[in-house]
Amino acid sequence: MLAYDSLEVTRGGYEGDFLFLEQPGLGRVECRDASLEETLAAVGHPALEAQLREIRRNVAKRRRRRLTGILLIVGIFLSIGLLIWKTPALLAGMATELPIELDKELGDAAFSTMELPGARVDDAALRGLSDEIIARLRPHAAVAELDLRVAIVASEDPNAFALPGGQIVLLTGLVTTADAADEVAAVLAHEIAHATLRHGLRNVVHQASSALALQLFLGDAGGLGELAGEAAWLASTNAYSREQEAAADAEGARMMAAAGLEPMALARFFERMSEIPGSELKGGLSWLSSHPEHAERRRAIANLTPSLPRGPRAELQESFAAAQEAAERLAGENDLDEEEKGSPPTPRQP
């Protein structure tokens, strides 16, 4: 016969699923039957009720602590996973804190590995035009430390692209397509802006694995080789976001105005190219199709231009006509080479 006044009731076990009954002189009994607690509660004895209330409070505390621990562990793992997933994006936003020398190392590594769309060109007229344009724009670049260099490549694509660090690739099709030297300068200013705004580095860091991105931020440039191919692809395909393109348009227009050149030249170039039939297709005008919303960008440049501080008007002295003639001659030679190889020449855009 149990004496309820002296009966001690406790709960224990690893999961708290054992009920222990202990009474002086009778020893200790343990039971795992959940209905025992209900049976004792039904007795209605005040001493038992007080002990059972305490047991329930302790069980509730234990469950809360366990749930809190589980949630904490889950939260830690989710945070780690989110950090790993988001690290490249977070670090891409901080890319401007990296030494500017890293851009040049990355760009040079990318340029040395990339497959150019044509042969390198060393023509005096084309080199003279590109050198004068860079000389005009360089003093107004936002990052003075960049070593702006132009590689001229024989290709009918009306294109140019910049690698991180200031290496620019000018395709001769840009010269044959442009109506004036200012249009060539405007496209190069746009590409220089991508380099000075460090869009290439940002995009490469964003595409990199978390470990590789962190490696760069910790000062270890050993992973640059792994990123070189990505940098080359991003640059040659003009794989920039709409925001980056808008920023490069604005910065390029600023540079043009400061250099005494016409900032609306890029908008005019876009407008004329967008009127060419089939310009939305890949091929000679793939550059246009990879830069969406040109009408919107032309309006943005037009709205910005009146407010830009302008330097004294400067005419480019190198003969644009001579550069165009050289580019057209190279295109003709390329067509002949293709005919000799038995393949039809690439259709040239007007």
Residue 220 has pLDDT above 70, yes or no: no
Q: How far apart are CA 91 and CA 210, in angstroms?
A: 9
Q: How far apart are CA 146 and CA 192, in angstroms?
A: 9
In the predicted model, what is the mean pLDDT of the chain?
A: 77
Q: Structure tokens of 195?
A: 């380099």
In this prediction, residues 231-252 reach a mean pLDDT of 80
Residue 191 has pLDDT above 60, yes or no: yes
pLDDT higher for 260 or 81? 260
Phi, psi of 20 (to 5 degrees): -105, 130
Residue 49 has pLDDT above 80, yes or no: no
- Reduce the DSSP state of residue 132 to 3 states and report it: helix
Element (H, E) at 321: helix 320-340
pLDDT higher for 303 or 212? 303
Residue 130 has pLDDT above 60, yes or no: yes
Residue 309 has pLDDT above 60, yes or no: yes
Q: How far apart are CA 232 and CA 213, in angstroms?
A: 17
Residue 78 has pLDDT above 60, yes or no: no
| Highest mean pLDDT (candidates 289-293, 319-323, 337-341) | 319-323
Q: Structure tokens of 344?
A: 């039809």
**DSSP code per residue over 179-191:** SSHHHHHHHHHHH
Question: 30 forms bridges with which residues in the sheet?
Answer: 20
Element (H, E) at 229: helix 224-236
In this prediction, residues 238-246 reach a mean pLDDT of 82
In this prediction, residues 270-286 reach a mean pLDDT of 57
Which range (89-98, 134-143, 162-171, 295-304) has the least confidence? 89-98
Q: How far is CA 30 from CA 36, 40, 62, 175, in A?
A: 10, 14, 20, 93
pLDDT higher for 340 or 44? 44
Phi, psi of 303 (to 5 degrees): -70, -30
Check residue 135 and give its pLDDT. Answer: 95
Residues across the chain: 350
In this prediction, residues 41-47 reach a mean pLDDT of 75
Residue 347 has pLDDT above 70, yes or no: no
List CB contacts of 327: < 8 A, sequence separation 6 or more.
126, 172, 173, 175, 176
Q: Structure tokens of 288?
A: 């246009």
> Per-residue pLDDT tens for 142-183?
998 889 999 999 998 888 999 889 999 999 999 999 999 999
Banded model confidence at residue 20, pLDDT cuts 50, 70, 90? confident
pLDDT higher for 70 or 179? 179
Check residue 138 and give its pLDDT. Answer: 96
Check residue 184 and give its pLDDT. Answer: 96
Check residue 18 and give its pLDDT. Answer: 73
Residue 190 has pLDDT above 60, yes or no: yes
Banded model confidence at residue 287, pLDDT cuts 50, 70, 90? very low
Q: How far is CA 36 from CA 11, 52, 113, in A?
A: 12, 11, 77
Banded model confidence at residue 346, pLDDT cuts 50, 70, 90? very low
CB 188 within 8 A of CB 69: no
CA atoms within 13 A on the CB side of 332: 6
Check residue 139 and give its pLDDT. Answer: 95
The model carries a pTM of 0.65
Q: How far apart are CA 346 and CA 156, in angstroms?
A: 8
**DSSP code per residue over 6-24:** T-EEEEESTTS-EEEEEET
Q: Let me know if 132 is exposed, middle or buried by CB neighbors in 10 A (0-12, 13-18, 19+).
A: middle
List CB contacts of 91: < 8 A, sequence separation 6 or more.
205, 206, 213, 214, 216, 217
Question: Going by DSSP bridges, is the β-strand pair 27-31/18-23 parallel, antiparallel, or unpaired?
Answer: antiparallel
Banded model confidence at residue 290, pLDDT cuts 50, 70, 90? very low
Check residue 301 and give its pLDDT. Answer: 93
